[in-house]
Every structure is written in C-alpha cells, then in structure tokens.
Amino acid sequence: MNPRNVGVIENPDGYGKVGNPVCGDLMEMYIKVENDIITDIKFKTFGCGSAIATSSMVTELAIGKHIDEALKITRGDVADELDGLPPQKMHCSNLAADALHAAINDYKNKKKK
Amino acid sequence: MDTIYLDHASAMPLDPKVFEFAKKYLRDSFGNPSSLYNLGQDAKEAVDESRKKIADFINAESEKTIIFTGSATESNNLAIRGAAYRNLKDGKEVLASAIEHISVINPMKDLQKNGWTFNTIPVDNYGVVDIDSLKKMINSNTVVTSVMYANNEIGTIQPISEISKIVHEKGHFLHVDATAAAGRVPIDVQKDGIDLLTLSSNDLYGPRGAGALYFKPGVKIQSIIPGGGQERGMRSGTENVFAIAGMGKAASIAKKEMKDGNNRLTKIRDKLIEDITKIDESYLTGHPKNRLPHHASFRFSHIEGESILLNMDMYGIQVATGSACSSKTLEPSHVLIAIGLKHEEAHGSMVMTLGRSNNMDQIPKIVKSVKETVQRLRKLSPLTK
C-alpha cells in the first residue's frame, strides 16, 4: 500500500468532495489547472484499502490530461487499471471518479464567473 | 519478515500435541464409528473418549449431555432451532443479547419469519447485558434466551450466573455461546446454570470441523439434520473422528494450561492496552476489567479499520476489524453499534486476540507498527483536523 499524490493543494483551481464518513467513505480531490490541463492533483481519503487505491489511481490517470479527457475517466477505467476489484468494492472506484469529476466541475464553474 | 499473529479469535493454529494424538484417525484408524467391526469400534471409542473429555472440561453432569457437531455455527443453530421447535408448548418467543454472533442472530431471525417473536436485549457501553431490560423482556413464552459467555469483538464477559437466575424465574432455556470464552474462562455449566452451551474445537487449538453442544439433562431439543441418526439422533452425518478426537484432546490441554496461560496473556494484554491507548484519540472498546485475558480491542478516530488491517499486514502483523469495509454486507459491526458507537466511530476499530505464540518481546514492534499505521492513515484522512 503506497498511495501517490496524497495531500492538499492550497488555493486549488478545483475542489471536489464526495461520500460521507457515516457510510465509511469520504474523498476530497484538489486540482491545479493550466490552459485546461490538469497539472497537479492531490487527494485525501477516509475509507478502506480499495477506496485509497482507487483515489490514488484516479489521480495518476488524470494528471497531465485535458479536463475534457479527465471527465471521461469512468469507474470502470479506475478498476481496470487496478486489475479489478471485488464486486462489493466497485462503489469505491465510483467514488474516486466522482470526486475527480466534482473537482473538474468546480473548476469549470469558477471559470464561468 | 517475522510475523506476529494477533487474530486468534478468527482462527487458531492446530496444537502439535493434538495433531500427534488425533492423526491416526485420518489414515490408520479411518473406520466409520457406526461400523460394528473392530476398525469402526476404534473410531467409536475415540468419539466416546472425546465426549468424556468435553463433559469434564465444562463440568457437565455426564458425557451424555454432549453432542458433536461440525462447528460452533451448527451448535448455535441446533440449540436455538432445536429447542424452539421441540418446545412449542412452552411459547413462541426467543431473545438474544444485541451483541450475539451472527450464527445466533440469523437462526432467530429465521424463527421470526416462521411466526416466533424475536427481540434483542440491549447492552451498556461496555457491552454488558442490561439486566433491567432483560427482566422486563423475559416472560413465560420466552422459550430460548441466548447470551454469549464473552464477546469475540470487544472481549466483554457477561454475568452468566446472574442472567441464568433471571431467565429461569420467568422464561425457559438459557443458551450460552461459549466459542470465544472457552479455554480462556473456566466454565462450569452446573454452577453457571446453563441449559445449552456451544463450544468450538478450533477456538481451543483443536482441528477445524468440530463443534459441540451441551444440553442439560431434561432439556429437550429436536434434530435439525435428519439422516442416519448419529449422535443419538440429534445430529446425523458420519462423525469427523479426527476433528472430534482432537477437540477432546485440545479441551483437556486447555483445562490443564488455562490458569498459567491466562496469567501470561493478561500481562501482555494489559501492556498492549496501556501503550496503544496512549495514541491520540484512541480508545479501548469493551469492558476494561471483565474482559477475556487474550483480548485487546480499540477504535481510532478519523481512520478506517480495513486500511488499518492492510497496513498492519505490511509490518507482518495480523489483526481484525469490525469495519463495514471489511464485511460482505458493507454494514459496520452490530456489536460496535450496540455499545453506542456512531457509524464513523465503528469504522475505525481494530481487534487483537492473543495466543500461545505471543510474548512480551513482541510488544515494542506491535505498538510501533500501530503508531505508524495510525499516523500514516490520519495523514491520508480528510477527517483529521
């Protein structure tokens, strides 16, 4: 267990938070964006081994990508990159992709203003 | 890497002395105890001999009170369903403490579907059965009341004699699941006032694949597995002679070594509790004094138990957790919820159960690994302030 991109970004261009601690998974995603390219990404996760692994994997998949490309990352992609997940853990990979998408949408909303 | 095994409540290694004693029933004395020729009678003798040892282990009235089964789960099912169906005239209500093992809760839920009333008795924050609630809930229709001797997740030991008196004032039979307690707490079914008692072989360092059910003389149960009528008709199916013979040997050894073993384990347990609860926002779960001598259970704020388990495994240390993430249903442990923990608190649980392979010299490595694990996961956690 050696997750990458753990931490927070001060003054991020986008921030996403999904899940809640009551159901056992909470993820926060921070992104830095230049010319619509994700240049830095960090996460924090409260959750099981799968939740941590999928958070880490989604940051690896998203870094360096255009935001439109990054929005296309699905939970299936995350699970595939990890060589599969047990069925009851698939929702963890969903959460990781959701957190990324939430951060990108936050960035887009800020840009509109 | 040297591993440190701290999950004896999940599985125990087979005692080599037990294996040496029982191995001949796998190959040389492989006969079926129901066969009348010598080979079969050798096997039958082994089963009968083990029955005597189990009866002696719990101070039962006679060896006739012991039925061998395939597991503690099966013994719990036989006790609850067998007593409920056999004693319909006594009423159609069953009661269990809120922290019973799932192999007690689920047979009772099944009875509920078939017309029985099923209620759970609340426990306090330490996991001790609430005596006033029990007094209010029990009535003349309560055919089976099930309270475990001690809990596998939080280590709390129940006041069984006191509970027995209340059950027998108004209700009928007291079933006690002693899977976690046997071998760690001296059990005397006569003094404790127990009608039905569940035992597991593996939890005594015996082979997996054998369990036992004690039922007090005069208590009637009916079989739940019809067939060839083995075990005096109470449990059909050819006996697992190796596991049964081994269970008897394991019980004899447990009886002899319990006192010294407990003194040794209690010291290790107390040192672990002392050192681990020094970590910020870490708490003991279960009763601080009336707990199993080999049992240390904790919860840590802001982190999740399955991650703790996986992280500890990287240090070569095996522990357990009641976290939802590690269960098939993704529900947090009903035991931790029953003692009043919030869902997010129950997620951060870690259980250590000691055994013969553990010693004081392992403590510094265990404590250091827990500290580093907690620190590392808190760094990852968005809940850490």
Using one digit for the tens of pLDDT, what is the confidence trace for B250-294?
Answer: 999 999 999 999 999 999 999 999 999 999 999 999 999 999 999
For residue A86, the chain B residue with the least C-alpha distance is B328
Please check the confidence at residue B325 and state whether its pLDDT lies above 70.
no
Chain A residues with CB-CB distance to B325 below 8 A: 24-25, 47-51
Q: Tell me, what's the pLDDT at B201? A: 98
Lookup: tokens for B304 = 């999740």
- Catalytically active residues of A, by annotation: 23, 92
Average pLDDT over residues B139-167: 97
Q: Which domains does chain A have, with CATH numbers?
A: 14-108 (3.90.1010.10)
- Residues forming beta bridges with residue B350, ordered by sequence position: B298
Using one digit for the tens of pLDDT, what is the confidence trace for A34-88?
Answer: 999 999 999 999 888 888 888 999 999 999 999 999 999 988 888 888 888 777 7
For residue B117, being part of any structural domain is answered with yes
B182 and B61 in a single domain? The answer is yes
For residue B181, being part of any structural domain is answered with yes
For residue A28, the chain B residue with the least C-alpha distance is B382
Is there a contact between B155 and B292 (Cβ–Cβ < 8 Å)?
yes
- Residues forming beta bridges with residue B300, ordered by sequence position: B282
Is there a contact between A9 and A30 (Cβ–Cβ < 8 Å)?
yes
B215 and B72 in a single domain? The answer is yes
Domain extent at residue B203? 16-253
B241 and B282 in a single domain? The answer is no
Which of B204, B220, B253 is where one domain is finished?
Answer: B253
Provide the CATH number for the domain around residue B206: 3.40.640.10
Q: Which of A87, A24, A86 is nearest to B336 (CA)?
A: A24
Q: How far apart are CA B79 and CA A50, in angstroms?
A: 39
Q: How far apart are CA B14 and CA A108, in angstroms?
A: 61
Is there a contact between B299 and B283 (Cβ–Cβ < 8 Å)?
yes
B233 and B271 in a single domain? The answer is no
A1/B314 Cβ within 8 A: yes
Q: How far apart are CA B116 and CA B268, in angstroms?
A: 45
B276 and B224 in a single domain? The answer is no
Which of B253, B274, B309 is where one domain is finished?
Answer: B253
B351 and B290 in a single domain? The answer is yes
Q: Record the pTM.
A: 0.91
Average pLDDT over residues B337-363: 95
List the single best residue of A48, A89, A92 to mutate versus B (max B Cβ within 10 A).
A48
- With an 8 Å Cβ cutoff, the interface of chain B facing chain A consists of 302-304, 306-307, 310-311, 314, 323-326, 328, 330, 332, 342-344, 347, 379-383
A88/B330 Cβ within 8 A: yes
Residue in B325, B360, B380, B383 annotated catalytic = B325
B83 and B157 in a single domain? The answer is yes
- B298, containing H or E segment: strand B295-300
Is there a contact between A93 and A50 (Cβ–Cβ < 8 Å)?
yes
DSSP B2: -
Q: How far apart are CA B285 and CA B348, in angstroms?
A: 11
Which of B208, B223, B253 is where one domain is finished?
Answer: B253
Q: Which of B77, B51, B34 is nearest to B227 (CA)?
A: B34
Provide the CATH number for the domain around residue B311: 3.90.1150.10
CA distance B272 to chain A (A): 24
For residue B43, being part of any structural domain is answered with yes
B34 and B113 in a single domain? The answer is yes
Our count of domains for chain B comes to 2
Give B269: exposed, middle or buried? Use CB within 10 Å, 0-12, 13-18, 19+. Answer: buried
Average pLDDT over residues B298-306: 93
Q: How far apart are CA A70 and CA A73, in angstroms?
A: 5
A24/B323 Cβ within 8 A: yes
Task: Assign B1 to helix, strand or coil.
Answer: coil
B284 and B339 in a single domain? The answer is yes
B233 and B264 in a single domain? The answer is no
For chain B, counts of helices (H) and of strands (E): 12, 12
B264 and B138 in a single domain? The answer is no
For residue B385, being part of any structural domain is answered with no
Please list, residue by residue across B55-93, b when 16 or more beta carbons sit within 10 angstroms of its beta carbon and e when fewer do: bebbebeeeebbbbbbbbbbbbbbbbbbbbbebeebbbb
Q: Report which of residues A90 and A36 the model is more confident about.
A: A36
B304/A48 Cβ within 8 A: yes
A46/B303 Cβ within 8 A: yes
B220 and B166 in a single domain? The answer is yes
B383/A1 Cβ within 8 A: no
Please check the confidence at residue A108 and state whether its pLDDT lies above 90.
yes
